[in-house]
Chain A
Amino acid sequence: MGKPVLEIGGLHKSFGALRATRDVNLAVKEGEIHALIGPNGAGKTTLIAQIYGNLKPDAGQILLQGVDITAKSVEERVHLGMGRSFQISNVLMDFTVLENAIIAEQARQQAAFRFWKPAFQDSALIRGAGQILARVGLQDRQDRLVSDLAHGERRLLELALALAADPVVVLLDEPMAGAGPEETQNMTQIIKQLKGQTSILLIEHDMDAVFQLADRLTVLVEGTTIANGTPAEISANEAVREAYLGSES
Chain B
Amino acid sequence: MTFALILEQLFNGFQTGVTLFLIAAGLTLVLGIMDFVNLAHGSQVMIGAYAATVLTALTGNFYLGVLLAIPVTFLFGIVLELVIIRHLYRRDHMEQVLATFGLILFFNEAVRIGFGPGALFFNLPQSLSGFVQVMPDMPYPAFRFSVIWVGLACAILIGLFVARTRIGAMVRAGASNPEMTAALGINIRLLFRLIFAAGATFAGLAGMMLGPLTAVEPGMGEGLLILSLVVIIIGGIGSVRGAFIAAVIVGIVDTMGRVLLPVILRSFMDQAAADGAGPALASMAVYILMAVVLVFRPTGLFPPRG
A and B touch in the complex (CB under 8 A): no
A residues contacting B by CB (< 8 A) are none
A-contacting residues of B (Cβ < 8 Å)? none
